[in-house]
Amino acid sequence: MGKKFLLAPDSFKESMTAKEVCEAMEIGIKRAIPDAECIHVPMADGGEGTVQSLVDATGGTLIHKEVTGPLGTPVLAHYGILGDGKTGVIEMASASGIHHVTKETKNPLITTTLGTGELIKDCIEKGMTDIILGIGGSATNDGGTGMATALGYRFLDKQGNELQLGGGYLGELETIDTSNVHPQLKNIKILVASDVTNPLCGERGASVVFGPQKGATPEMVTQLDNNLRHYSEVVKQQLGIDMVNVPGAGGAGGLGGGLIAFTNSTMKKGIEIVIEYTGLKEKLQHVDYCFTGEGGIDFQTKFGKAPFGVAQAAKAVNGDMKVIALAGYVGKDVETLYDEGFDAIFGIVPGAADIDTLLAQGKENVARTSESIARLLK
């Protein structure tokens, strides 16, 4: 009987999706052990690639939709429907991410999460009962008001006029009108994938910590922080929800806070959500070896990255199971991972080459390294 291998890598950014890494690993393993059985469980940590990994791991479908981008212009975004047919999976960055703005156009006073709300609305209207929402990589600082606007909330000034979109206008907020909120919203459970624990406001808040990378000058940071504080006070008075110091409220420019205030949502570490929805622990039963990996592995891998989650899950299922990681780049203090469930870590790069060549050769390098490891295990 051939050995059983569970293959659970993250994507190798700009080179391979997690599914493609699984396929390359299997090619290599089977060159060495032709009757090996390989179980593919493409992974992600809640950031970029999560939609693709969960769709691939559950046999789901990818939906493409034109929505409002962070600057108010149309962008083509995507989300996934998992194999169960009732769970949607969204990366907010697809609609409202930093890659939709340039150095010249980024401006957190005006960027909006409206498009993320439009994706949530589309999920609801396609009959989803649960939504997984990854909130990394945003271009926004609007406290999630754009997202809420797409779902029927209205944000009004003293004169009763709707505020312009963006965090720069929240200081003028007087009233939150809930009379037209999407009737199905309260029945939808949203699981927010976030590794950020920052509060909404203050020194560790959304504006101070993340505002500058989204284009905020020091003056803008002060204005945005003050605006989010005012907004949180209006939410507390009118909706009875105190979100300002909730850990994670500052994620994605306050989208974390907006989700707490306006939807039925719970926050959880991205890797924990992916492990649960892929059924990783069940699939780890009765396997001999576990392969994982991602583009770069170093001491930071143990702070919630996918390979770390996989290693921990494997050891929890079977303390003697060998966990082997492959990476394009093996970085600083990687030896600290040997106490965290990893048995061996291999770089896949065969020799000196420019980055474009290495990215293009990712699959053959993963296959060759997997073959070498499998020959040793044989």
Contact 326, 64 (CB under 8 A): no
The tokens describing 369, both together, are 């390294």
Q: Residue 343: its pLDDT value, please?
A: 98
Q: Residue 2: its pLDDT value, please?
A: 79
Is the sign of the CA dihedral 18, 20, 23, 28 positive or negative? negative
Contact 115, 122 (CB under 8 A): no
The dihedrals phi and psi of 261, each to the nearest 5 degrees, come to: -75, -40
Q: Residue 327: its pLDDT value, please?
A: 97
Q: Residue 354: its pLDDT value, please?
A: 87
Contact 323, 316 (CB under 8 A): no
Q: Residue 1: its pLDDT value, please?
A: 66
SS3 category, 284? helix
All residues at 6 or more sequence positions from 275 whose CB lies less than 8 Å from its CB, including other chains: 281, 309, 310, 313
Residue with tokens 């203090």: 333
Q: Residue 176: its pLDDT value, please?
A: 98
Helix (H) or strand (E) holding 65: strand 61-68
The tokens describing 320, both together, are 């003697």
Residue 79's DSSP bridge partners are 63
- Concatenated DSSP letters of 211-242: TGGGT--HHHHHHHHHHHHHHHHHHHHHH---
Residues 287-316: pLDDT tens digits?
999 999 999 999 999 988 999 999 999 999
Neighbours of 359 (CB within 10 A): 16
This prediction has a pTM of 0.92
Contact 79, 131 (CB under 8 A): no
Going from N- to C-terminal start, the domains of the chain cover 4-41+279-377, 50-271
pLDDT in tens, the chain (378 residues): 679 999 999 999 889 999 999 999 999 999 999 999 999 999 999 888 999 999 999 999 999 999 999 999 999 999 999 999 999 999 999 999 999 999 999 999 999 999 999 999 999 999 999 999 999 899 999 999 999 999 999 999 999 999 999 999 999 999 999 999 999 999 999 999 998 899 999 999 999 999 999 999 999 999 999 999 999 999 999 999 999 989 999 999 999 999 999 999 999 999 999 999 999 999 999 999 999 999 999 999 998 899 999 999 999 999 999 999 999 999 999 999 999 999 999 999 988 888 888 889 999 999 999 999 999 998
SS3 category, 275? helix
C-alpha–C-alpha distance, residues 265 and 170, integer Å = 23
C-alpha–C-alpha distance, residues 172 and 61, integer Å = 41
Superfamily of segment(s) 4-41+279-377: Glycerate kinase; domain 1 (3.40.50.10350)
State whether CATH 3.90.1510.10 applies to domain 50-271: yes
Q: Residue 47: its pLDDT value, please?
A: 87
